[in-house]
A and B are shown apart, each in its own frame.
Chain A
Amino acid sequence: MSFMDFLNFHLVPGIVLGSVYAVGAIGITLVFGILRFAHFAHGDMATLGAFIALALVTAGLTPWTALPIAMAAVAVVAIGVDKLFYDYLKVRPKIMTVMASLGVALMLRAVVQVVFGVDPRTYATGIVRPDDYFGLLLRDRELYTLAAVVLIVVGLTLFLRHSRWGKAMRAMSDNPDLARLSGVDNRKVTMLTWAIVGALCAASGFMLGINNELHSMMGWQVLLPMFAAAILGGVGRVEGAVLGGLIVGIAEELSIFILPAQYKAATAFVLLLLILLVRPRGLLNGKVL
């Protein structure tokens, strides 16, 4: 195997896949950090976003212009889901909200299946051969995916660091009681979090779809690797989620060198268990829930 082969067929796919996991894991880590529960509807929300984008593409938009609209749409859905199903469980043990999110996952999947059917779909038919950049084989969609992920991560980081609401979100994540005492509006922060999480869901679903196919189980199937990525990086840490996502994605694609391909899906979990053993707070020192 040549070095270029390694880059083209193992590392690059791993990075692309890892970036998609990263976008999903950021959402999971935000919910974990700020709202403090494991959001099992995350994957199916991503599926919904991917299919909303598909509907827009079918209506004549190009995929990448459909993306922001789909993100906005799922942001609204996420806020709605919170208001309808999670909000009143706030005063209850968090496990209730986790169960509610499982229920939401089933409902969202059912909606996608009824509205869009269960056949695998794509944003564009046909195949796309890669362009050759000095031996490095890349497709436009992969470059756009990477660019979009960088944009999302940088934008989100700047927002969390410097804007007033971003700081409020971080305060909620670090110490909710203190944040409330200091006058942070709990309700607004929750809403804002869901808007961001919804948009991130849509983005991850879309990127998963454009780099492969869309189908009604796509989100559910990537949910566990995304969880692994979020925990791996450290709960509540955006950079951690990105790092975790990349590690999980790359590890899955490289696992083939040491394990039979059937165990590809196990890679994320083996890594996760190892990290939990040596660094229980994740790579970047996330919070302990």
Chain B
Amino acid sequence: MDLLGLANYAVFMGILIGIYALLALGLNIQWGFTGLFNAGIAGFFAVGAYASAILTSLPASGRLGGYELPLVVGWLAAMAAAAAIAWPIGKVCLRFRSDYLAIATIGIAEIIRLVIRTEGWLTGGVRGVTGVPRPFGDLDYMPSQVAYLAIVATLVLVAYLLVERQVRSPWGRMMRAIRDNELAAAAMGKQVEARRLQAFVFGSALMGLAGALFVHFNRSITPEAIDPMIATFLIWIMLILGGSGNNRGAILGAAVIWIIWSVSELLTDRLPTEIAVQAKYARVFIIGLTLQLVLRFRPEGILPERQPGSPPHR
């Protein structure tokens, strides 16, 4: 072990944290600011990932594409595709209140997952899409990772600034008003439904972008990447622990949870090798327990919503 290795590992973590931070930011728009319980993050992540993969990858037989389009086109298309899927879903489902919306979105994400697994002509089915380009992918290991981290970090920063600006604008105040008291907001003549739909679509587009960043990093995507645990529930844990309603909290939550998720393995590796396999199960236990401890001692999130005068409850 040397510092270079540690740095490389840190850069890798940074990339995944960045991708998860985008997902958490997207969710923060939906849940943190608008109160929409989207439990189908994996679906929008998947749509973005596959859209960009199909548009930018090398041509392949047996599935749609690839079209070898420039990366930027792929990324924009990822956001557009996720938004385009989110719009009808939102149109139909946003009338359901909290937990119902959650179950509906879980269902839609599962249906998207099954379609991706089964419709090979479109997505390559269970084999997935390969031959996806990675920007600066021809560089050596370290420089290539650093370059990718720079891209991811830039996009996270841009997304953060955009969301912050929106949230601080009258639009953001209106969203919080709708979240905290829908009836009052409606009574004041705010178009509640349209605003919520906007938030849902905007958040989903960010999730789609995260999917695109993920697929270009790994140069491939298979349906295994869109398992609900790793692509939906994990992000919820990140947002809630980071501090829902606070964009910095969302990013910080992504970092903390991913670091716990990843570093816990290094710890359990120190257990005797005879129980190495059991140690991996124990790691899952540790992840669950850490979650409980943070909820116990920091239930409002690491960085709570900064909203003087507004109650933390909803």
- Are A and B interaction partners? yes
By a beta-carbon cutoff of 8 Å, the part of chain A in contact with chain B is 32, 37-38, 40, 84-85, 88-89, 92-93, 95-96, 98-100, 102-107, 109-111, 113-114, 224, 227-228, 231, 235, 260, 262-263, 265-266, 268-270, 272-273, 276-277, 280, 288-289
Which partner residue on chain A sits nearest B296 by CB separation? A88
Q: Tell me the bound Cα distance from A100 to B298 in angstroms.
A: 13
Instruction: Say yes or no: B97 contacts A288, CB within 8 Å.
Output: yes
Instruction: Say yes or no: A85 contacts B284, CB within 8 Å.
Output: no
Q: Tell me the bound Cα distance from A288 to B287 in angstroms.
A: 33
Instruction: Say yes or no: A272 contacts B98, CB within 8 Å.
Output: no
Residues of B within 8 Å of A113, CB to CB, are: 278, 281, 284
Instruction: Say yes or no: B288 contacts A103, CB within 8 Å.
Output: yes
Instruction: Say yes or no: A107 contacts B295, CB within 8 Å.
Output: no
Q: Write the B215-252 contact mask toward A (1 if CB under 8 angstroms, else 0).
A: 00000000000000000010011001100100000000
Which partner residue on chain B sits nearest A288 by CB separation? B97
**9 interchain pairs, CB-CB under 8 A:** A96-B240, A99-B236, A102-B233, A102-B288, A106-B287, A109-B284, A266-B114, A272-B103, A273-B108
**Total A-B residue contacts, Cβ distance less than 8 Å:** 125
Q: Tell me the bound Cα distance from A231 to B106 in angstroms.
A: 13
B287-304 contacts to A, CB under 8 A, are 287-289, 291-292, 295-296, 299-300
Name A's interface SS.
Answer: helix
Residues of A within 8 Å of B244, CB to CB, are: 95
- CB of A8 to closest CB in B, whole Å: 27
Most chain A CB atoms below 10 A, which of B233, B237, B281: B281
Instruction: Say yes or no: B285 contacts A227, CB within 8 Å.
Output: no
Please list the 5 inter-chain residue pairs (A to B) with the smallest Cβ-Cβ separation, ordered nearest first: A269-B107, A106-B288, A110-B285, A103-B291, A107-B288
Residues of B within 8 Å of A260, CB to CB, are: 118
Instruction: Say yes or no: B292 contacts A103, CB within 8 Å.
Output: yes
B267-314 contacts to A, CB under 8 A, are 278, 281-285, 287-289, 291-292, 295-296, 299-300, 312-314
Most chain A CB atoms below 10 A, which of B37, B107, B244: B107
- CB of B15 to closest CB in A, whole Å: 24
Interface size class of B (residues with CB under 8 A): 35 or more
Judge if B102 is at the interface, Cβ distance under 8 Å: yes
When the two chains form the complex, which single residue of A102, A103, A106, A289 contacts B99, counting CB atoms closer than 8 Å? Answer: A289
Beyond the given A228-B107, A231-B100, could you list 6 further A-B residue pairs with CB under 8 A, ordered by the A residue number?
Answer: A99-B295, A102-B233, A111-B285, A113-B284, A269-B111, A289-B98
- CB of B261 to closest CB in A, whole Å: 11
Q: Tell me the bound Cα distance from A109 to B288 in angstroms.
A: 10
B76-111 contacts to A, CB under 8 A, are 92-93, 95-100, 102-104, 106-108, 110-111
Q: Tell me the bound Cα distance from A224 to B229 in angstroms.
A: 12
Judge if B117 is at the interface, Cβ distance under 8 Å: yes
Residues of B within 8 Å of A111, CB to CB, are: 285
Residues of B within 8 Å of A265, CB to CB, are: 110, 114
Q: Tell me the bound Cα distance from A106 to B299 in angstroms.
A: 19
- CB of B125 to closest CB in A, whole Å: 9
Instruction: Say yes or no: B100 contacts A276, CB within 8 Å.
Output: yes
- CB of A222 to closest CB in B, whole Å: 13
Which partner residue on chain B sits nearest A37 by CB separation? B99
Q: Tell me the bound Cα distance from A99 to B97 in angstroms.
A: 18
Instruction: Say yes or no: A280 contacts B96, CB within 8 Å.
Output: yes
Instruction: Say yes or no: B108 contacts A106, CB within 8 Å.
Output: no
- CB of A181 to closest CB in B, whole Å: 21
Instruction: Say yes or no: A100 contacts B102, CB within 8 Å.
Output: no
Given A96-B295, A103-B292, A262:B114 Cβ within 8 A? yes
Which partner residue on chain B sits nearest A108 by CB separation? B288
Instruction: Say yes or no: B111 contacts A107, CB within 8 Å.
Output: no
Instruction: Say yes or no: B117 contacts A262, CB within 8 Å.
Output: yes
When the two chains form the complex, which single residue of B97, B103, B111, B292 contacts A227, counting CB atoms closer than 8 Å? Answer: B103
Instruction: Say yes or no: A102 contacts B100, CB within 8 Å.
Output: no
